[in-house]
Structure formats: structure tokens, C-alpha cells
Chains A and B, each alone.
Chain A
Amino acid sequence: MSKVVEISPTTRHEGHSKLVLKVDDQGIIEKGNWCSITPVRGVEKLAVGKTPEQVPKIASRVCGICPIAHCLAATEAMEASIKCEIPNDAKLLRHILQLANRLHSHALHNILTLPDMYIPGTETKINPFTSEEPVRSVAKRIQRLREIGQTVGQIAGGEAIHPSNPRIGGMYRNCSEQAKTKMYDLAKEGLTLAHAQSEFMIAVLRNYQKRDWVDVGGMKVPLPKTLGYHDQGYLATHAFYGSSSLEENPSWDIRRFKEARPYDWYMGEMEVTLEEPKYPIGGTTKMGTKTNPQMEACTGIPMYDGQPIEVGPRARLAVYRGFDEKGTIGQQIARQMEYQDCLYEMIDCIDELNPNGKVVADYIPDGDGTLGWASNEAPRGTDVHLARVKDWKVQFFSMLVPTTWNFATCSKALEGAPWQLAEVIMRGYDPCVSCATHMIVVDEDKKIIAQKLIQ
């Protein structure tokens, strides 16, 4: 008979989420639900009636780890709705900003996943905060990579965390020659560090992959070769940046998109029937606790061509580079592979930037209510925002964020793994849970209707 185990809250990722797992007698996951339990701040709803200039600044604050993606996708969705083309140098600044965020975010994710891994050739799990070598040098390198990302982002985007420079129609300010040189030097330094860091991470991941078992809170858990495998397919809209409905041939198709509510998709009420106090740190949920993903989940289930899909580094590499390694380790490897790519692209963009070029469009229309959308390839995947702006007021706003896509896909990827490794699989997605709380539904006619949800 299968049992129900719950890990709540999950740790080492952004936001609040939990795992509700139905497992067999061997503790292998038969069906897993990973759901957000972060309160819904309702950014899509509060956006209605505000100005298109204000909404991206609020949208940025949906998530402090990929704020850039949200700020840019929101800004560009507004621009797509009002049909405003921005100058090339503004675009370049946005690209630089976006790549800078990816660099910092991937590095941060290294800190979050390393504790699951072993120092190669030893039985010692990695504590990224230990002052002992060899880990301390790695931690310092990670922090320096983050510093480089954050500093470049700060120069191009005004602020390191929530960018202040993007505005509807372009950017508030271009960078000076001096600032350009500084960004260039930083990117070059980053490249050297990124080579070393990605090499280190890949070695650690390959070492993990080769193990037969791993230790979880003193439990010896067998490590399946197919950890985190799924057959859901991938979605990416650009190798680096994104796409929008202003483009002639956009790389995302709104007609292939559909969303289900959690009620249709998640498991209903259950009682926790398996409890493991040894599970690190603080144990799993107490036996007898009632749990109900259907009712508690804060996110919807977005689908492309009728299926949940994966977004993120592997999806980008799969779509644009032909990378095809499956499972959690494949996904993690892909993330490390993006390090250098991201810096090379950043250097190209900095090179191309003209500090004397204008960065604000000459004419910024007030909008006629047309539906516009823009996607942005956040560190953890495709972030699509949709907007309607009329007479300089937002009438409709929706955010289709990376982790929302991945919630359902990851739930599938859990199947077949020992439940103790569920968090390892989940972390492979580098989830940003706070943002994954939104509303959007496309009805049968592929038209966006918002009302359907609140019945």
C-alpha cells in the first residue's frame, strides 16, 4: 500500500513550497506533487488601473532573484501593447543587464545545491559556508562571480537587485564611456572565473552521478541513474534574451499555450502516513497531518501543446544548442554550461554599446488596449508577461513565470525516485517560488479570459 510523506517547507530555494509524495513500500515516489504555498500577492490584479510605468517596478518585486526578467518582461509587454520600438542602445543595455543577472543567479544557485553534493573522491558533503579548503576558495569565487554580475547589472540597470534604469520606451540613462570600460573589465575577469567555476561544478556533478547511494540525514539512499528524468519536452524563446509580440517571427506562440487550475491537476485531500524525523533538518511532517495540494497550491498549471514542459538552462540548450542530457544532473550540467556563454554574449553586447547613442524612444504611445506579450529568458527559464495598455492605463496584466512552468514538469520528474531525493530533483529546477503565483487562463477559443478563475 502506498504511503504519503510530506516535506514542508522545502529549503534552499526562493519562496515557500512543499512536496507531497505518494510512495511505495520501497519509498519510491509513485506520484509527487510539488506546490507553492507562498501567499499570493496578486501582482497581476493590483496592476489593473495603474500606469504602465509603475507596473514593471512592482513586477520586479515579485522575485528578488530574477527581478531583471520580471522587470524587463513587464516593461516589454507594455511596450508590445502600445507598440513602442526602443533604440538599439537601450536594447543592448537591457541585454547586458539580463546576462548580468543570469551570472549572479547561477552562481547563487551553486551555493544552494552544493550541500547535496560531495567533495569529489570523499564522503564529505559540501558545506558552502565552511572556512575549510577546498570549499572556501570555491565560495569566494562564487561570491566574486556574483559580485561581478551584480555590479555589471547595477551599472547597466541602475540597481543590482531591482533595476531602476529600464523604463517604458527604453532606459532612463545610457552608460558613460567610463562605465562601459568598467563593465568590460568586469566581464573579462568573470570569464576567467566562470571557466574555473563551471569546470569545478561539472566535476562535482559527475562525481555525484557516479555514486550508487547518497546519504540523507544518516539514511543510505540508493541513487537511481534516471534521477529526475521526465518526457515532457522543453520550451525556450531565445538562447539568451527573449522575444515579444512586436517581432515579426516571435519564438513563442500564444495559441499553443493553455493553463489548468491546480484543482484539476493536483492530488486532493490526504493524510500523512509516513514520517521521518531523521530527514534533515527538522524532519518531515507529522503523521496524521491533513494535506491537500489541490486546495493549498498557489499556482496554476501552464501547458504548451497540452502538456507541462520544462523551461530553464537545459531547455535553452536543448532548443538552441542540441544538448540532450536528461535528468537532474543533465539539467545542472546545462546550467554550468551557461556560465561562459553568458559572459561571451555580455562582452559582445558591451562592445557594441555606443555610450553616445540615445536610449529613449522619440515617441511613446498611450496604448489602445491591444494585447502585447514579451518573454524573457530568466536564469531559471522562460518568463512571459502579457499586457493590455489603453490610454496609459494597464487594463490587463499577466505573468507566466519560469517556476510555474516547472512546477508541473518537476512533479512528473519526481516519479521513480526515492522520496528522500525529491528535494534534490526539485532544486535542479532552481525554483523561484514567490513569483510562481499568478493567474492566466486561455479558453477554448485561445482568447485570454481572466474572469474564469474567480467563480
Chain B
Amino acid sequence: MADKITVGYTHLSGCTGCTVALADNYGGLLTLLDKYVDLKYIPTLADARHIQKVDVSFVEGSVCINDKLAVEEIKETREKSAIVVALGGCACYGNITRFTRGGQQNQPQHESYLPIGDLIKVDVFIPGCAPTPELIRNVAVMAYLLLKGTKEQKDLATAFLTPLMKLTAKNEACGCDLIVDVINQGLCMGCGSCAASCPVRAITMEYGKPNVERDLCIKCGACSAQCPRGFFNTDVISQYEAINEAIMAALQ
């Protein structure tokens, strides 16, 4: 196989839960680093202090637009990366920072937080809070195939990543999306994926349809992205067996 892809990790206003999720690939993380990924920059886990030029940048956290450094960092990340992946609800949608309204010690002016897609063009979304280690792994492997693979592997990677690329069209998420984009659109079939995927148990299934307790929702975007009627790329998902096997083999 060709050489590794270079990867950076920009940490903005996030909680590091996304980093932990990445690390929670356990042994798989070590294999990823051995074979596929050259981690150039990730201040939480390694020593590099400044953003570097890389193939793929993962960005955790939203951007505090009242903080000069944060705004510079997100712009620099865009300039220096071929592919920018918004990792986790905060980077994709704002997540809990959507609720922020400033007024707190010692920087009461830190009031306005934006998902990164409001400031730069983002290529791929990985929603959820925390996102799952497996989806991070899958995206990393697919990014590798996209950049270093054969024609066939590039096609597969593109097909796999397409829905996650299309998610970038919208920078806000809420449990209400299930109502607006699925039920209101006549698409809900009552599988319960949304309820299972909600990290704060905001969704219960009432008579076979989701009920969202909006007061609990943290706006992570997991439910509507997990919903089979949110997106379903039949061609790719039908090959679940082969793709899963290939990913597992890659991580052996």
C-alpha cells in the first residue's frame, strides 16, 4: 500500500470528548497510526504546538467568534488542509455551545459560538456527541482510500463519504429535525434508530413514532443522521458485509 496520509486535529471550543472517542478505537488506533495515518498535529495527545499542512484535518468544537485566536485557528486549518472534517456535534452544529449566551467569568464577552461550517467550507461531517469511535475509524480509513487507494477503492470511498459530505449543507441540528425532515415529510417508518442514537435520552418512541423532549436535546445531530430516512445510500449500505470486512481486515 502507498504511504500514510497526514492528519491534523484542531481543538476549538469542544470538550475533548471527541478526542477521547478517537482514542477509544483502542488497539485499532495504534494500527491506524502504524499503517495509515501520520498524526502531525493533535495538542491533546502529542507535542506539536502549531497547525500544520496536512491531507485531512479533524476539527473538534465550535468557534468562539469573540476569541481572535479561535477564529485564526479555524481559518488556518482550512488553508492548510486538503480535507476538513467537522468532528462531533459542536463542530458540525454547535451542539451545547448553541446555548451559550456569555456573561461568565473571566471572559464575559465570550458569547457567540458558531459551528465551523459558518466560517469555512467543510468537506465531511461526523455528527454526534460524542461521535462514535467506529465512525471516526471508518472515515479515517475511507479518507486513506480516497487519497492513496486504487481507482476502485477511491470510488468506494467517495460513495461512502458522499452522504457525510452532503450533511455539510446544513449547519444546525436538533431533535426537531426528525419531525420536520422525516415525519412531516411522510418518511418515518418507526424503526427507533433515532431513539437509540440519542446520547441524552431525549427521544422516546410513542406509538411507534419518535417524541422529542426538546428541553433535553443538546443539538448534536445524531438522531437525524442515524435515521435511515435521513439518508440511505442503498448501493453502499447493501455492501455492508464486504465493507465491514475490509475495514476490519485493514485494522488487523
Complex: A in contact with B (CB within 8 Å): yes
Identify the A interface with B (CB < 8 A).
Answer: 8-9, 11-16, 37-46, 50-51, 53-54, 57-58, 61-65, 67, 108, 111-112, 115, 129, 131, 136, 139-140, 143-144, 146-147, 150, 158-162, 164, 172, 261-263, 280-283, 297-300, 432, 434-435, 437-440, 453-454
Complex Cα–Cα for A293 and B43 (A): 21
Q: Which residue of B lies closest to A104 (CB)?
A: B20
Q: Which residues of A contact B107 (CB under 8 A)?
A: 39-40, 298, 437
- Give the residue of A41, A64, A263, A438 whose beta carbon is less than 8 angstroms from that of B19: A64
- Give the residue of A63, A281, A298 whose beta carbon is less than 8 angstroms from that of B49: A281
In the complex, the answer to whether B104 meets A44 with C-beta atoms within 8 Å is: yes
B248 close to A (CB within 8 Å)? no
Identify the B interface with A (CB < 8 A).
Answer: 11, 13-21, 23-24, 26-27, 29-30, 33-34, 39, 43-50, 64, 66-67, 69-70, 95-97, 99-108, 110-111, 113, 129-130, 198-201, 215-216, 218
Q: Give, as a whole number of angstroms, the nearest-CB distance from B90 to chain A.
A: 8
Q: Which residue of B lies closest to A266 (CB)?
A: B106
Q: Which residues of A contact B34 (CB under 8 A)?
A: 131
Complex Cα–Cα for A150 and B66 (A): 35
In the complex, the answer to whether A58 meets B30 with C-beta atoms within 8 Å is: no
In the complex, the answer to whether A160 meets B24 with C-beta atoms within 8 Å is: yes
Q: Which residue of A lies closest to B30 (CB)?
A: A139
In the complex, the answer to whether B15 meets A42 with C-beta atoms within 8 Å is: no
Q: Which residue of A lies closest to B99 (CB)?
A: A46
Complex Cα–Cα for A143 and B28 (A): 10
- Give the residue of B33, B105, B110, B130 whose beta carbon is less than 8 angstroms from that of A41: B110
Q: Which residues of B contact A144 (CB under 8 A)?
A: 26-27
In the complex, the answer to whether B106 meets A129 with C-beta atoms within 8 Å is: no
In the complex, the answer to whether A64 meets B48 with C-beta atoms within 8 Å is: no
In the complex, the answer to whether B103 meets A42 with C-beta atoms within 8 Å is: yes
Closest 6 CB pairs of A and B: A64-B17, A439-B105, A39-B64, A282-B49, A42-B104, A64-B15
Q: Give, as a whole number of angstroms, the nearest-CB distance from B192 to chain A.
A: 16
Q: Which residues of B contact A12 (CB under 8 A)?
A: 43-47
In the complex, the answer to whether A300 meets B113 with C-beta atoms within 8 Å is: no
Q: Which residues of A contact B20 (CB under 8 A)?
A: 64-65, 108, 161
Complex Cα–Cα for A38 and B61 (A): 11
Q: Interface centre among A41, A147, A434, by most B CB within 10 Å?
A: A41
Q: Give, as a whole number of angstroms, the nearest-CB distance from B189 to chain A.
A: 25
Q: Give, as a whole number of angstroms, the nearest-CB distance from A76 to chain B.
A: 18
Q: With A140-B27, A454-B108 in contact, is A172–B48 under 8 Å at CB?
A: no
Q: With A9-B43, A172-B201, A281-B47 in contact, is A46–B100 under 8 Å at CB?
A: yes
Q: Which residue of B lies closest to A279 (CB)?
A: B49
Q: Interface centre among A9, A162, A262, by most B CB within 10 Å?
A: A162
Q: Which residues of A contact B199 (CB under 8 A)?
A: 159, 162, 164
Q: Give, as a whole number of angstroms, the nearest-CB distance from B138 to chain A.
A: 18
Number of A-B contacts (CB under 8 A): 191
Q: With A160-B24, A162-B130 in contact, is A61–B218 under 8 Å at CB?
A: yes
Q: Which residues of A contact B18 (CB under 8 A)?
A: 64
In the complex, the answer to whether B11 meets A40 with C-beta atoms within 8 Å is: no
- 6 further contact pairs, Cβ within 8 A, besides A12-B47, A140-B30, A434-B16: A50-B99, A50-B215, A61-B96, A160-B24, A437-B104, A454-B108
Complex Cα–Cα for A216 and B14 (A): 30
Complex Cα–Cα for A435 and B39 (A): 25
Q: Which residues of B contact A115 (CB under 8 A)?
A: 46-47
Complex Cα–Cα for A111 and B29 (A): 13
In the complex, the answer to whether B106 meets A11 with C-beta atoms within 8 Å is: no
In the complex, the answer to whether A161 meets B17 with C-beta atoms within 8 Å is: yes
Complex Cα–Cα for A434 and B15 (A): 6
Q: With A45-B101, A261-B105, A437-B104 in contact, is A282–B48 under 8 Å at CB?
A: yes
In the complex, the answer to whether B29 meets A39 with C-beta atoms within 8 Å is: no
Q: Which residue of A lies closest to B24 (CB)?
A: A150
Complex Cα–Cα for A32 and B121 (A): 40
In the complex, the answer to whether B17 meets A262 with C-beta atoms within 8 Å is: no
In the complex, the answer to whether A54 meets B24 with C-beta atoms within 8 Å is: no
In the complex, the answer to whether B66 meets A453 with C-beta atoms within 8 Å is: no
Q: Which residues of B contact A146 (CB under 8 A)?
A: 23-24, 26
Complex Cα–Cα for A37 and B49 (A): 14
In the complex, the answer to whether B43 meets A11 with C-beta atoms within 8 Å is: yes
Q: Which residues of B contact A111 (CB under 8 A)?
A: 23, 45
In the complex, the answer to whether B30 meets A129 with C-beta atoms within 8 Å is: yes
In the complex, the answer to whether B108 meets A14 with C-beta atoms within 8 Å is: no
- Give the residue of A57, A282, A299 whose beta carbon is less than 8 angstroms from that of B106: A299
Q: Which residue of A lies closest to B66 (CB)?
A: A39
Q: Interface centre among B14, B27, B100, B107, by most A CB within 10 Å?
A: B107
Q: Give, as a whole number of angstroms, the nearest-CB distance from B52 to chain A.
A: 9
Q: Which residue of B lies closest to A112 (CB)?
A: B45
In the complex, the answer to whether B29 meets A16 with C-beta atoms within 8 Å is: no
Q: Give, as a whole number of angstroms, the nearest-CB distance from B80 to chain A.
A: 14
In the complex, the answer to whether B100 meets A41 with C-beta atoms within 8 Å is: yes
Q: With A53-B215, A57-B200 in contact, is A14–B24 under 8 Å at CB?
A: no
Q: Which residues of A contact B105 (CB under 8 A)?
A: 40, 261, 299-300, 437-440, 453-454
In the complex, the answer to whether A453 meets B108 with C-beta atoms within 8 Å is: yes
Q: Which residue of B lies closest to A140 (CB)?
A: B27
Q: Which residue of B lies closest to A47 (CB)?
A: B99
- Give the residue of B44, B106, B198 whose beta carbon is less than 8 angstroms from that of A40: B106
Complex Cα–Cα for A39 and B26 (A): 30
Q: With A42-B111, A281-B49 in contact, is A143–B11 under 8 Å at CB?
A: no
In the complex, the answer to whether A39 meets B46 with C-beta atoms within 8 Å is: no
Q: Which residues of B contact A164 (CB under 8 A)?
A: 198-201
Q: With A41-B110, A454-B108 in contact, is A147–B26 under 8 Å at CB?
A: yes
Q: Which residues of B contact A438 (CB under 8 A)?
A: 104-105
